[in-house]
Structure 1
């Protein structure tokens, strides 16, 4: 008996969207009520960490984004990994030299939770230019899990994108809307100023920014519907949309600027250096 599998899979196949999920109001209700459990509860730059500055977090988060881009990880990996990193930094003091190790560890954990393909430990070590060893990653994985009390299935901005788009009549106006919104969510999770922003607000701002960037005719309706759906004031939403747009401007290729002055004792990621993510170059703003 020949049991060989001869089918050829040329692209990943995803399960179709379940309309029952998007038609059930309880899904959004539970997301909104539970997201507070996974939102960093303090400004750890001021009240917890003594050796970590916002720009250092920006550098490491951008490095994490590039690792995900290089390895073509699912969109949900980066937001979860950065969420784990932020929550860990709220409860455990570390040195600046350990920040990239923490980022790599959170990528490892996030890939185990939400990816079909786990990021190999050896690969993550290579991306740190071997400044991190496999033994360090394994030990820090247990440290992060214990500090977070194994509560790692966090709600992120990614989880709201489909929920909002699929529930609105304008959601199908452009096939690019979902892709752009996911890309903007990833960019937002590299921004230190948004650390304590609820994931629902991040998703709302990213969707509205994507709608306006694509110049869809339903821009006003989208703003109204999103505000109602995630219970956010229009003024607050506009502020967040401005932050999102400014974040995109920072990563879109421009004329080379003078590199910032290095801070003594902080080793920025060496492999690879931050560049513009591939997906960002495809956003038509």
Structure 2
């Protein structure tokens, strides 16, 4: 009898971009167990617990963080990583920067190491140090990435299994008053908004459950799945009761996300009237 491991099939490929591996099925038994939700709520914490990131008082470093996270997102998308890899990498990035000042010349190296480590925890086929070095145009060498990996896990005190907003998604989907056939669209939009929030520092101060509820509600609004049934306010109230969270914090996060989405989405084309020649 032969055994096939499909998710490893792309390791021998000469292509620098891997093909999408086969993912494991979601376990309905676990997603319907309330103990899973309670465990997630008890373990979650925001990326940053203080009032600032060490050394990030300057607008320049915050601007560079925005550029860095945009580059990290592009790498994860091109490498077809699991949706959780990028948010987890940013989680590591913010936690490290909240403890230690980072020189601007080391930001790309730190971002590479965060993706390297996050992919080991959340990816079927982890990103290699060689691949990440190529994405930096060899500005970050393989030995540097491996050396900084030890430095990163040491600063994080080996506390790497962090709770992410996407960890709440399947649990929230089961409670939504929408047909099951719409779950795929909601899931796809929600992952997109979670990635979007990871590029902005202000969302790192919210708990993952708050970000998850805000992104799900935003997805439902954009997909018009709440029309004539449940308002955004009612959805936020329902999720707030379900996860026993601070409603004020949820409203602040959702409002910030809505504003960010409006600024990110392209403006609609201007309608002009026909002018006779």
Is residue 137 from structure 1 mapped to residue 145 from structure 2 by the alignment? yes
2:272 alignment partner in structure 1: none
Gaps of 5+ in 1: 256-285
Please give the per-residue CA displacement for 1:195-240, whole angstroms capped at 9, x wherever unaligned: 2111111101000000111111344353332121223344433332
Matched ranges for 1:225-264 at <5 A: 225-253=238-266
**Structure of greater relative contact order (alpha carbons < 8 Å, 6+ residues apart):** 1
Partner residue in 2 for 1:86: 94
Counterpart in 2 of 1:181? 190
**Post-superposition offset of 1:17:** 2.5
- TM-superposed CA distance for 1:12, in Å, is 4.0
Q: CA contact under 8 A between 2:166 and 2:212: conserved in structure 1?
A: yes
Helix, strand or coil at the partner of 1:124? helix
Aligned to 2:49: 41
**Any conservation in 1 of the 2:89–2:111 contact (CA below 8 Å)?**
yes
Q: How far off its partner does 1:40 sit?
A: 1.9
Q: Call closer, same or farther: CA 1:172–1:233 in 2, change over 3 Å.
A: farther
Q: Which runs of 5+ in 2 are unaligned?
A: 10-18, 269-277
Aligned to 1:154: 162
* CA RMSD of superposed structures (Å): 2.7
Say if 1:21 and 1:27, in contact at 8 Å, map to a contact too: yes
Offset at 1:149? 1.1
The answer to whether the 8 Å contact 2:21/2:124 transfers is: no
How much does 1:127 deviate? 1.4
Match runs of 1:200-279 below 5 Å: 200-217=209-226, 218-220=229-231, 221-253=234-266
Deviation at 1:89, TM superposition (A): 1.1
Given that 1:211 and 1:219 are in contact with CA atoms closer than 8 Å, whether structure 2 keeps it comes out as: no
Change in Cα spacing, 1:33 to 1:171, as seen in structure 2 (3 Å) is farther
Hey, what's the Cα distance between the residues in 1 that align with 2:216 and 2:222? 10
- Provide TM-score, normalisation by structure 2: 0.81
Q: 1:85 offset after TM fit, Å?
A: 0.8
Q: Using the TM superposition, name which of 212-221 and 143-152 deviates more.
A: 212-221
Partner Cα separation in structure 1 for residue 101 and residue 141 of structure 2:
21
**Map of 1:117-136 to 2, 5 A cutoff?**
117-136=125-144
| 1:75 correspondence with 2:87 | no
Cα shift at 1:247: 2.4
Quick check: 1:50–1:93 contact (8 Å CA) kept in 2? no
Q: 2:40 aligns with which of 20, 28, 31?
A: 31
**Which structure has the larger Rg?**
2
User: For 1:201 and 1:134, how far apart are their aligned partners in 2?
Assistant: 37
Residues 49, 4 of structure 1: CA spacing in aligned structure 2 closer, same or farther, 3 A cutoff? closer
How many residue pairs match? The answer is 251
